[in-house]
């Protein structure tokens, strides 16, 4: 696989700027038929920040996540799983408030009980107590599973408040990857970007380069993450990194404004910048197709 | 003669300490601010940023200069460097510390 070809193709597709974005891990286009036996799709939701209160940013803070859930329930085709890539809840310095928010969040997403739902923490969920409360509600903070030829890895880069993966987890990652073939189809979910997207706003993982180094020998690796509350597409070598929108507050592009502050709500464009995505895995050709969805203001 | 050399050496040492002390800037980190939040230093002049925390663990990172340190309770931390490029460099707390963490920022201004 030629990395340069991939990057050019990636930029060409990214420049479309529309609803459908295609990230291809090979130099073949993704316009192939969907084969239900081998291919599948999943939904990524991120940064729901349940408990956030800021009317100028999102006057429908209590309604946005339920609206997204309604839309998922109405999907014609059922995703094989739904993954929340962290910051499920908004931080509070009061542990009892954090606990209440986690409980409420869990109750709300229980509406998705007919789907397989997976979680991982963001720093708002886990960084104040090294993930202890998160684990009580949602289980492990890092894990792997296999599905239809894809090896999925969840990396926790938030339970350490320093925003690192840490030596123990990196060793776990190394041990896991030893079991994979060089051409394995690997998808990583994580909260923070593994690369230095914009350290001035803490959009980085301090030891993310160590994880990338471990992943680099594998030909087919794609990373889906959250944290930055907007779509962003980047390559480190041949590894593609795709960030997702938030379901609570949109953030501006890195460094585009002096301070890292949420984008204010626009009354005539409600829910602008918020949404979720579907990712189609066309396993045979090592291809992923990303389709972005906004929030439908009419959903009740 | 020996005594004169010793006095001269002592004078130079005292002078060196004085110069050093002039370039030590003390910064306190606490939820959720750095005090001072704006620090001005001169390009080409060595400086020591000396950090202490008033409450819990924090961190300070100046990404534009590739400098950082943890700031642990009871353990003052230092960043020693000589800025060479004039400009304004943002610094942030990079150890998640609570609800106001994301606003815990400051500016390092390097003048000519």
Interatomic CA distance for residues A281 and A84, integer angstroms: 17
pLDDT at A287: 80
Q: Is the pLDDT of residue B78 over 90?
A: yes
Superfamily of domain A3-30+37-293: Metallo-dependent phosphatases (3.60.21.10)
pLDDT in tens, A218-265: 999 999 999 999 999 999 999 999 999 999 999 999 999 999 999 999
Among chain B residues, CA nearest to A202: B94
Greatest C-alpha distance within chain B:
65
> What is the dihedral angle through the alpha carbons of B86, B92, B94, B99, rounded to the nearest 10 degrees?
-170
ipTM: 0.85
Q: Where are the domains of chain A?
A: 3-30+37-293
Is the minimum CB–CB distance between A95 and chain B shorter than 8 Å?
A: no
* Positions in chain A short of pLDDT 50: 1-20, 23-32
The residue to which tokens 């073939």 are assigned? A181
Kindly state the tokens that stand for B106: 């400051």
Nearest by CB to residue B98, choosing from A91, A158, A260, is A91
Assigned architecture for domain B23-111: Sandwich (2.60)
Question: Which residues of chain B does A202 touch, with a Cβ-Cβ cutoff of 8 Å?
Answer: 61, 92, 94, 102
pLDDT at B4: 57
pLDDT at A75: 87
Cα end-to-end span (Å), chain B: 42
Taken in order A103, A107, A113, A117, the sign of the CA dihedral is: negative
Is the minimum CB–CB distance between A177 and chain B shorter than 8 Å?
A: no
Taken in order A161, A165, A169, A171, the sign of the CA dihedral is: negative
Q: Where are the domains of chain B?
A: 23-111
Instruction: State how far residue B91 is from chain A, nearest Cα, in angstroms.
Output: 7
pLDDT in tens, A177-197: 999 999 999 999 999 999 999
pLDDT at A58: 98
């Amino acid at each position: 696989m030629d990395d340069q070809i991939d990057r050019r193709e990636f930029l060409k597709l990214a420049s479309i700027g529309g609803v459908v974005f295609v990230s291809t891990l090979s130099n073949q286009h993704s316009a192939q038929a969907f084969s239900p036996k081998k291919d599948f799709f999943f939904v990524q939701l991120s940064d729901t920040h349940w408990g956030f209160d800021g009317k100028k940013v999102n006057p429908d803070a209590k309604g946005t996540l339920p609206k997204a859930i309604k839309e998922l329930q109405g999907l014609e085709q059922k995703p094989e799983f739904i993954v929340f890539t962290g910051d499920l809840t908004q931080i509070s310095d009061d542990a009892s408030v954090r606990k209440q928010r986690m409980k409420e969040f869990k109750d709300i997403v229980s509406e998705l009980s007919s789907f397989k739902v997976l979680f991982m923490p963001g720093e708002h969920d886990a960084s104040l107590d090294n993930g202890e409360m998160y684990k009580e509600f949602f289980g492990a903070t890092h894990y792997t599973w296999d599905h239809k030829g894809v090896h999925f890895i969840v990396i926790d880069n938030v339970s350490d408040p320093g925003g690192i993966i840490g030596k123990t987890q990196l060793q776990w990652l190394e041990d896991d990857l030893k079991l994979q073939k060089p051409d394995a189809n690997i998808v990583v979910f994580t909260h923070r970007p593994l690369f230095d997207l914009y350290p001035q706003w803490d959009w980085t993982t301090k030891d993310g380069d160590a994880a990338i180094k471990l992943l680099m020998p594998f030909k087919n690796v794609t990373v889906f993450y959250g944290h930055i509350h907007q779509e962003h597409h980047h390559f480190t070598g041949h590894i593609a990194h795709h960030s997702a929108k938030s379901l609570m507050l949109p953030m501006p592009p890195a460094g585009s404004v002096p301070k890292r502050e949420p984008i204010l709500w626009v009354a005539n464009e409600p829910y602008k910048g918020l949404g979720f995505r579907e990712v189609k895995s066309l396993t045979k050709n090592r291809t992923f197709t990303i389709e972005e969805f906004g929030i439908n203001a009419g959903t009740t | 003669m020996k005594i004169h050399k010793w006095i001269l050496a002592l004078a130079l040492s005292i002078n060196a300490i004085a110069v050093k002390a002039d370039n030590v800037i003390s910064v306190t980190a606490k939820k959720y601010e750095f005090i001072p939040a704006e620090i001005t230093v001169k390009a080409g002049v060595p400086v020591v940023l000396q950090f202490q925390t008033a409450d819990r663990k924090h961190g300070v990172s100046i990404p534009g200069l590739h400098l950082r340190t943890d700031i642990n309770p009871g353990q003052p931390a230092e960043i020693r460097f000589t800025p060479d490029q004039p400009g304004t460099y943002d610094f942030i707390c990079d150890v998640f510390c609570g609800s106001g963490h994301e606003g815990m920022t400051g500016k390092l201004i390097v003048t000519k």
